[in-house]
Structure 1
Amino acid sequence: MRVALHSVLKEGQEAGYEEVHATVPADLLEALGRAGITNWRIWRSGRHLFHLVDCEDFAAAMAALDQDPVNHRWQAFIGDYVDHFETTGGTPAGPSVDMALGQVWELSEQAAATAKE
């Protein structure tokens, strides 16, 4: 599954955020892998960050990271840069799912549906 997220940087932290992401700690990469995350991409527009996370089960991955001390250390560190993650109102699937952005449109899905007609 792919999940899109939106977070906002603290004022003036744009360059610092990019610097610390030039090479994230190896133990964080291992923690993300243990949680079932196979890829995580981040784009920035001003203070706004857009994330695309690939994993089997996003809610389970976030629950695993919530229990991982490596992630706790990273969150304490990166909190100096990130103001907040936007939320979408929540779902019964779990608290972390309320961070996932709803997909509006996908070219390949429409093209496949059109090809079947």
Structure 2
Amino acid sequence: MRFAFRMVLKPGCEAEYEKRHREIWPEIVKLLRESGVSNYSIFFDKETNYLFAVQEQGGLSSQDLGSEPVIQKWWAYMADIMETNADKSPVSIPMKEFFYMP
């Protein structure tokens, strides 16, 4: 199942966001893969500061992953450069798929 969502990057934080994802913690990647997440991409719209993410999910939902300590630690690490909820999770707006061409 493909899942897409939108997040918001704080103005001026594009380079830092890219840097942190180039150096993503191996335990995050391991957990995502073990949970069935694959083909995960994040795109950036400079005009709006929106981050657009697409991933395939074959296991746990993103809500299930949110209870994992390493995910909570990552959220706290990223909170200074993204719009977040009270629990430090990124504000994520699910997006409906209208078209897919395999």
- TM-score tier (shorter): 0.7 to 0.9
Aligned partner of 2:87 in structure 1 is none
Q: Deviations over 1:42-86 (max 9, x none)?
A: 1111111110011125xx321331221110100100111111434
Aligned partner of 1:33 in structure 2 is 33
CA contact (8 A) 1:35 1:62 kept: no
The runs of 5 or more residues in structure 2 that have no matched partner are 85-90
Q: Deviations over 1:60-117 (max 9, x none)?
A: 3213312211101001001111114343xxxxxxxxxxxx201122345xxxxxxxxx
Counterpart residue identity of residue 34, structure 1: E
Inter-partner Cα distance in structure 1 for 2:42 and 2:13: 15
Percentage identity across aligned positions? 26
| Higher relative contact order, structure no. (Cα contacts within 8 Å, ≥ 6 residues apart) | 2
Q: TM-score, normalised by structure 2?
A: 0.80
Which structure is larger by alpha-carbon Rg, 1 or 2?
1
Taking a change above 3 Å as real, the CA distance of residues 39 and 106 of structure 1, as seen in their structure-2 partners, is closer
The runs of 5 or more residues in structure 1 that have no matched partner are 88-99, 109-117
Aligned partner of 2:58 in structure 1 is 56
Indicate the structure with greater helix content: 1
Aligned length: 94
Inter-partner Cα distance in structure 2 for 1:20 and 1:5: 19
Aligned partner of 2:16 in structure 1 is 16
* CA-CA distance at 1:33 after TM superposition: 1.8
Q: Deviations over 1:3-48 (max 9, x none)?
A: 1111110121111101111120101111212322123101111111
